[in-house]
Amino acid sequence: LAKTTQPISMDSYEGQEVNITCSHNNIATNDYITWYQQFPSQGPRFIIQGYKTKVTNEVASLFIPADRKSSTLSLPRVSLSDTAVYYCLLSGYSTLTFGKGTMLLVSP
Amino acid sequence: GAVVSQHPSRVICKSGTSVKIECRSLDFQATTMFWYRQFPKKSLMLMATSNEGSKATYEQGVEKDKFLINHASLTLSTLTVTSAHPEDSSFYICSARDGSQETQYFGPGTRLLVL
């Protein structure tokens, strides 16, 4: 059973780069790593997905080391509106289990 | 991008009644849809996985007769909370997996309040 572990909370300031790491020691060979953002009373919003190495899109980058036992979501130049809970999720043939997520608080 | 809708967005019902929540994938076909439940300040808890045309697979501790799931087409899954009680009050979220990739897209959620 693949399980993910993230820091419970992180604090940052506007304009800074934020890196959130997720540990997944038991990731399966065919699992993809997906990160979501959730605001209160809303469904999670897809941010980025990867399998290995580095993936970048218009909002974030995802770094995955060769052993794939962890992944790091990088948010460049965060703003106040990035205050939310961030989840990493393994998808594939593993049972889908959301971790507790990371509450990111961005201050002025 | 892929869009998933849910209806209704919020519902209030009396104890003992049944409530149906619809989940639709609007611009892609979803062979697999998932239903989650989320309590305040808690993470999402997977309730069941539904595959189009077959019976849903329920997670341990989730009563299949209480939470009826139907996935009759590649774009629609429904969750019916039968004989709802106040403890069923929660935020219910569905997601749909695009079969061409391993990505789940989530609906906006349905807030259920049972009085």
The answer to whether the CB atoms of A43 and B93 lie below 8 A apart is yes
- pLDDT at position B103, please? 86
A59 chain-B contacts, CB cut-off 8 A: none
> CA-CA distance, A106 to B85, in Å (whole number)?
38
- pLDDT of B1 strictly over 70: no
Using DSSP's 3-state secondary structure scheme, residue B105 falls into strand
The answer to whether the CB atoms of B107 and A43 lie below 8 A apart is yes
Probe site for chain B from A8, A38, A51, A95 (most B CB atoms < 10 A): A38
Q: Does A35 touch chain B (CB under 8 A)?
A: no
**pLDDT bucket at A28, cuts 50 / 70 / 90:** confident
As to burial, measured by CB atoms within 10 angstroms (0-12 exposed, 13-18 middle, 19+ buried), residue B87 is exposed
- pLDDT of B35 strictly over 60: yes
Q: Which of B3, B81, B82, B100 is nearest to B35 (CA)?
A: B81
Cβ–Cβ pairs < 8 A, chains A and B? 55
Average pLDDT over residues B9-38: 94
Following DSSP, what letter does each residue of A13-33 receive, concatenated? ETT--EEEEEE-TT--TT-EE
- pLDDT of B51 strictly over 90: no
The answer to whether the CB atoms of A49 and B111 lie below 8 A apart is no
- pLDDT of A1 strictly over 60: no
Q: Which of B82, B73, B81 is nearest to B110 (CA)?
A: B81
pLDDT tens-digit profile of A59-80?
A: 999 999 999 999 999 999 999 9
Average pLDDT of every residue of chain A: 92
- pLDDT at position A15, please? 97
pLDDT tens-digit profile of B52-108?
A: 888 899 999 999 999 999 988 889 999 999 999 999 999 999 999 877 667 889 999
Probe site for chain B from A4, A41, A51, A59 (most B CB atoms < 10 A): A41
Average pLDDT of every residue of chain B: 92
Nearest CA in chain A to B109: A43
